[in-house]
Amino acid sequence: MPETRAGGDPLLQKLMVPLAIWVVFTAVGAVFLSIGASRQVALERTSPAYHVTSPTPASPGYFGVVPNWDGNWYESIADGGYPATLPVDGQGVVQQNEWAFYPAYPMVVRGVMAATGMRFAPSAWIVSLLFGAMAMVALFNLVRFRMGTWGAGALVACVMAYVTAPVLQVAYTEGLALLLVVLFIGAVRRRLLGQAVGIAVLLSLTRPIALPLGVVLGAVLFHDWLTQRRTTSGPRFPVRDVAATAAVLATAALWPLIAWAVTGRRDAFFETQAAWPVNSNGLGGWVGDMLRFTPVGILAIVVVVYLALVCLRPGSRRWGQELRLWSVVYPLYLFLASRPSPSMLRYLMLAIAPLWPFPGLGFTYLRGVRWAPPLVLGVLIAIGLVAQYFWVTSFFIVSGDLSHRPFP
């Protein structure tokens, strides 16, 4: 698809196209959540499913499931903040507590609650919807110049049809994190290093993904330096570039340092993380499973091979250097720095670009078979929506045996 200049495009293409796609898929996700809500069991503070901040009856309705799972922790943070002293059991082992969850999202929700007087669930819903909508608009305009309107719309549609995309309308951080990642990539693309560092600070208070951000920035700037070296004689040492990259990487320590300052325990954040069974046995579990060829490891290998095939082929250049690099570095970071859990599906949504693996497929390709691109897109969307329904009703909704629950 031929490239079009952003300045000549009407507001319809820049704003209304991604918002229309967002509205349609958000409505479908809301239907799935409402159907699932009719099957949810009653949750009490003593329920063995997970931490329950606000008990809900059986079949609590749409807003009754908005704070499910991590949403209950965010509600606790929005209502009461973080504990000054870590909770421990009789042996002095740190128990699960709010310090495992980053503050940006619940603090925004807290502001909406204070401004409107609404309860947590509708406030979190509004915040998540706004961040999700802004993320889709930002993503559409990030790739539209290279991929064209149709290709950019296809990417937005595939992100919204992704298996875990309904979290963009519940009390989770995905919408805010996705928006900030897209803005960071846009800042790096324009080489606005101060802006990139500022966005990285916000992200370090939203999700623990500062390290892949720094790798992407450092790799892009290093490539610039090498290019300059080949075209000019004696380039100066890129002090500003190195400082910006170091600053982004350093933001990874921001939240653990804050936890230390408030609680007085140097290991407050890390001991809190270890209180969750999935984090208690160290890092690198995916790599071990891949080396042992366990079922989970084979699935991880398939994902890695898929990412390599999609992101390294020439057609993926239409994503742009920065987004293409992020789509490789971020998933590899996840596999290296986390252990196998159902949450990996949700984490991979932030990889963004590989969710529409055909960036060069548009109406100007495959002459005589113009139905092929929309057919391919339609098949991917259909598969995604079926997977969404299963994920919502089998993972996000709490039903059945509460003591053995897969978590989203």
Q: Map residue 81 onto helix, strand or coil.
A: coil
- How far apart are alpha carbons 62 and 306 in whole angstroms? 35
- How far apart are alpha carbons 232 and 180 in whole angstroms? 35
Q: pLDDT higher for 401 or 407? A: 407
pLDDT of residue 167: 97
Q: Say if residue 314's pLDDT is above 60.
A: yes
The whole-model pTM stands at 0.93
Q: Say if residue 5's pLDDT is above 70.
A: no
pLDDT in tens, 144-178: 988 888 899 999 999 999 999 999 999 999 999 99
Residue type, 285: G
- How far apart are alpha carbons 78 and 92 in whole angstroms? 27
Q: How large is the angle between the packed helices 120-160 and 372-391, nearest 10 degrees?
A: 150
Q: Say if residue 211's pLDDT is above 70.
A: yes
pLDDT of residue 362: 59
Q: Say if residue 366's pLDDT is above 80.
A: no
CA-to-CA separations, 202 to 141, 180, 229, 247, 334, in angstroms, rounded: 21, 8, 33, 13, 20
pLDDT of residue 154: 94
Q: Say if residue 284's pLDDT is above 60.
A: no
Q: Which of 16-20, 113-117, 204-208, 280-284 has the lowest mean pLDDT?
A: 280-284
pLDDT of residue 291: 85
Q: Averaged over 333-357, what is the pLDDT? A: 91
The H-assigned helical ranges of 190-253 are 193-204, 210-231, 239-250
Q: Say if residue 207's pLDDT is above 70.
A: yes
